[in-house]
Amino acid sequence: MSSTEPFLLPEEALEEKFLASTGPGGQNVNKVATACQLRCDVFRLGLAPAVYARLKTLAGSRMTAEGEIVITARTHRTQDANREEARARLAELIAKAHVAPRKRVKTRPSRAAKARRVDEKKGRGAVKQGRGKVRLD
């Protein structure tokens, strides 16, 4: 799976709940439940073990002990907009988990680089050697 295409969320793994929201909406927020709390059962997604481990790390405190990711969206004034935002954030999180980190390749300095380093050290040592006390013999 490439990181550009969004992860398709199966409906049976999702559970939506609408809550009374804070934020924009004036007195309307006291009457209408517009905030969307999206719960996703990670085990129903059928992820590979490595992807699951990365998702668990990325989700952090948003993942419960039962293996559910809880995302709350409350920035918009309508249920539909908050639902879309929650789903987009979840899909983005899962897509990020599918991207494997690149392996670090060990590098070694070349023989010439080692020789240059030793020569520079000797040069600095010679400069410091010349800073000794002056003797008047």
The whole-angstrom separation of Cα 98 and Cα 89 is 15
Q: Which CATH number fits domain 11-98: 3.40.50.1820, 1.10.10.60, 3.60.20.10, 3.30.160.20?
A: 3.30.160.20
Quote the pLDDT of residue 1: 47
pTM score > 0.85 for this model?
no
Q: For the chain, which residues score pLDDT lower than 50?
A: 1-4
Q: What are the residue boundaries of the structural domains of the chain, listed by start?
A: 11-98
The whole-angstrom separation of Cα 12 and Cα 39 is 11
| Dihedral in degrees, nearest 10, Cα atoms 57, 61, 63, 64 | 130
Q: Any idea what the Cα angle at residue 45 is, between residues 42 and 49, rounded to 5°?
A: 75
